[in-house]
A and B are shown apart, each in its own frame.
Chain A
């Protein structure tokens, strides 16, 4: 029996974190696709031999809890057939993948011929085959229209590249860049492998095993004490999903039943709508990730992210519902059901822990442009991050965060720089400002949304739209009010206006078309009439709240304006 060295626990905790951080730095530096190196849509992690999370470095919360389930699938599939030098690739959403485009690399780590853990990196690839470049195909009804399926398969066996497997996979993916990005992910895993080996080499395998177990317990204790602070009970919350991409007018419900029993918490989504006939479907892993990140925002933000943190959490997401579609459904939209998952949990727990719950966040509505850049005569792809980022919901004692964007990323994705945007696309950014009165009024105001106007250049532009939030506005809490709807419209040079559906694709957009987007703000918290008058006057002075809203909603006589 190894004696636990309390101090060594702190040392291991730091060492694991430093390893996944270094893997993350390596990926940022070595990947090519802007979704990876610029938007950092990837996660790096270390797992133990049984697939328990030792540590991770997450850039986007929605990806953060998507590696563990895959690691267990790999362990089940290969059993003893895992050797040093193996590299395993995986994206299959019907074996615990979270999204088709999110491709994981796993590398087993050995010490003296004993499996001691796994280094893993998962990133959103610029293309993954399927009918449409980039993977967002609103017309898809089956997985093969979206992507190539990659169940766990060895890319390298005992250090040797399996060229046939490599070629088979990449024969089904459009961009050669993806091969380079996968190589970068393998590189990051090799780095993680070396660092964990040297750590275990230093302290010995028994010490490592005992201390990582103790570390999980320590983190579990932290999480359990957070849950214990929530009153016991069964809580319900709902949120709506509008339009499945195929059938206009369709509506679906995401329904959370949250049960708190002493130091354990269960999230049960069994009562949600059945899966859709379009691509608006979640996967088990994307939904569990969404649940985890939503709950983490309600507890101490400093809890380490290892297996102990997840242990007191139980997830019930049965197959066949909108949050866990059965084979062979289309699911690319799944990550973007995170806002509804988050809303339903927040609404459920809002009476139990009102001081920790935010009002509704703006739901994502997003567009992606592809076309030809006349200056270089080359193709470009651009996700319009500038336009899509709305405000977060307010909570007790804090206004919402302006222009933060979807809760799935919680401020982890950056806008394009204005001038780089104008160089890398043929478009001109005419307007990008906070939208007045878009912060849901409340004692604490919702975060502001933004309005964006872009003059589209280049011929034959294609616009793919995906998202929600154009039918229903975010909820306010405890007397707080809502914000405005999301909206995207195109005004063609001849003056006609086109309004895309929330999941849509418009081709052949002519140069000179005006793109106009509103990303709404977040909901308010508490009665706006109780808002600190100085804050209202400051908002009026800064023109983010109009005089009429100040008078009519906040109840401030504007002659008092200083």
Chain B
């Protein structure tokens, strides 16, 4: 038996998804160890061996692939525990990093402070050098200046250095020269330059991304070394790769050089897993939502591809590398309910976290949270939280909810809990609306895929608000990202700036850029063991109409690039611009301008044998045998409490239809069906929940469309 293992380290739990070469899968969760997350990683592997009753050594020998999602980079940025970093930049432009183009996000809040720059001003060192806007050297590097800089870096005990010069995207010779010089002089210092990290136009974006890379580099490097060391000690001989923010995986060697590609390492796997489930069920488009303890993530898959953007940031630090477009809002099980000074009920964004947590956890939490409302409304069983591992204190939740919210609002406890449920659902629906509308998509045309344990209590109402007619709770919902880890291909993104009007494109130069990027990508992928025939190259051009300020990334065909078929590219651009913004300037004859050329190189990896299959058999069985109990729950459509059936979800492996209102319970997942919903099973333990009015005769996968 051979295995593939996905490992996703989160704040509270480390999730594991193991698939054997025969398609059997195992889910596992263990507590995270934030002080050194490689400890939890190894513990989990040992626990898995125990779970399977296989000898530990034998088990490790039989894992041929581990794919890992890590929060080390993100946490370093959130807690500001990165390396002591210096920046070497162009004379006169010392403060671009800290100025952040002069933005203050909260315009009415005079106490709102700028972010602490990752490199303090005294470590931002400028050099008298200059390359002009055409890429010509105006002021060459003076080496004697470098000697002084090296002395300063040594005396300050700097651990990491970022190099970023003005206009280096047009001419990287100065950055190269300085980087090489520093590498020779400062052997134990982490050195990174913008031409390696993000060689594209926009100085602020580039300097910020390069500095983030330097700042997290030392920490990520140490973590990977420690983890690889531990795996080595255990005699692990399989392949090891890491999830990137762009939804692809990559070798640890690349991550050690450009650690900034991992800032969304964990959450990026959700839309990858979403793509898999959407395809399995016969859809091209889906939205994945993941509701955790403190936050709610949503992202989109369109035409089978995850939506990507280059305007991300973490903790207000800009990272302009391509990453999956994931929006995060402060809504989760721990989101606290409060009454504002105008007497209106609000939910979050503050969270009770896991300590003290919601009131019902019985850990001295004194502020009612979303989970308390879910408990009071009957969606959660106080004796079956995490499969009965924890007991929830419903009485205390009701008492605190009454005192803190119901009394000031003049409502009953149930009305208040229902209000909390409604308000937080509205917040999450708005988050989804934002991620879709901003990219020019209508959420009604999407299937919703629900990850995370708490999400499936709320998904029905979120979907009703957005008029989404169907949501899916996959069998792997509680460890969704760990699943996505195993489904990602190797992905490398390359970019070069080439600013020119279409009529003035220098064809040789344009082809040369693609040739360069192609060679580099093939070299990297073959080092990662990918054969030529498993490489897909996807070019993207960042284009705009002359006179516009925002460029639009346009995915194009490699054939059109190589054959210089710019007419076809123009046609596609007009169409895409019209889709996103509602107009094109095709008839006006406005010329196109190119800003960047990009290449995404995909190395198709071997996927696990399918662990989810659709049962196409005819009989739809009666689910009564799986009925666990009945309990009172709040029905949002009728705004009434009513006794409804509770099913044991783990028993529903066959093909059944559950009529709402009902609750389906599993160890880590609770699904609530309101009285407008019905649910189908029969997809290896996944649940398909659909709006009964729209599909009165049930939903036939692969035969019907969403409406």
Contacts and interface: CB of A to CB of B under 8 A. Distances in A.
A415 B101 contact: yes
Contacts, number: 192
A386 to B, nearest CB: 8
Contact of B109 (A301, A308, A429): A301
Interface stretch (B47-55, B234-242, B302-310, B335-343): B335-343
Interface residues of A, number: 81
Given A38-B549, A297-B108, A433-B92, A10 B344 contact: yes
A7 B343 CA distance: 10
B133 A423 contact: yes
Contact of B203 (A296, A389, A417): A417
B423 A14 contact: yes
B467 to A, nearest CB: 9
B409 interface: yes
A497 interface: no
B456 interface: no
Interface string B418-444: 110011001100100110011010000
B411 interface: yes
Interface stretch (A85-93, A238-246, A314-322, A403-411): A403-411
Contact of A411 (B102, B423, B548, B550): B102
A32 B547 contact: yes
A301 B580 contact: no
Contacts of A401: 104, 110, 112-114
* Among A215, A395, A404: residue with most chain B CB under 10 A: A404
Interface string A11-44: 1011100100110011001101010011000000
A434 B126 CA distance: 14
Interface string B91-103: 0111110110111
Given A10-B344, A419-B201, A411 B426 contact: no
Contacts of B583: 30, 180, 183
Contacts of A358: 110
Contacts of B92: 429-433, 453
A187 B582 contact: yes
Contact of B419 (A10, A61, A180): A10
A402 interface: yes
Contact of A417 (B120, B204, B440): B204
Given A14-B430, A401-B114, A433-B95, A419 B202 contact: yes
B111 A18 contact: no
Given A18-B430, A411-B104, A398 B94 contact: no
Given A420-B201, A542-B120, A414 B102 contact: yes
Nearest to A217: B342
Interface in A425-440: 428-434
A220 B341 CA distance: 10
Nearest to A59: B107
A419 B102 contact: no
A412 B105 CA distance: 7
Contacts of B98: 402
A351 interface: no
B174 to A, nearest CB: 15
A334 to B, nearest CB: 20
A404 B133 contact: no
B581 A30 contact: yes
A300 interface: yes
B499 interface: yes
Given A25-B437, A414-B103, A419-B201, A221 B341 contact: yes
Contacts of A423: 133, 201, 499
* Among A7, A399, A411: residue with most chain B CB under 10 A: A7
Given A419-B201, A428-B133, A403 B99 contact: yes
Given A37-B549, A61-B107, A358-B110, A7 B423 contact: yes
Given A395-B110, A422-B167, A544-B121, A433 B547 contact: no
A4 B657 CA distance: 39
A29 B580 contact: yes
A297 B107 CA distance: 8
Nearest to B410: A6
A413 interface: yes
B350 interface: no
Interface in A50-84: 58, 61
B475 to A, nearest CB: 33
B169 interface: yes
A352 interface: no
Contacts of A26: 582
Contacts of B342: 218-222, 303-304, 308
Interface string A153-188: 000000000000000000000000100100100010
B558 interface: no
A84 B134 CA distance: 54
A6 B103 contact: no
A407 B99 CA distance: 17
Contacts of B203: 417-419
Contacts of A410: 104, 107-108
Contacts of B93: 418, 429, 431-433
Interface string A438-476: 000000000000100100000000000000000000000
Interface string A261-290: 000000000000000000000000000000
Closest CB pairs A-B (n = 9): A411-B104, A218-B342, A7-B419, A542-B121, A431-B92, A422-B133, A410-B107, A222-B342, A418-B203
6 contacts: A7-B345, A7-B415, A221-B341, A399-B113, A401-B114, A414-B103
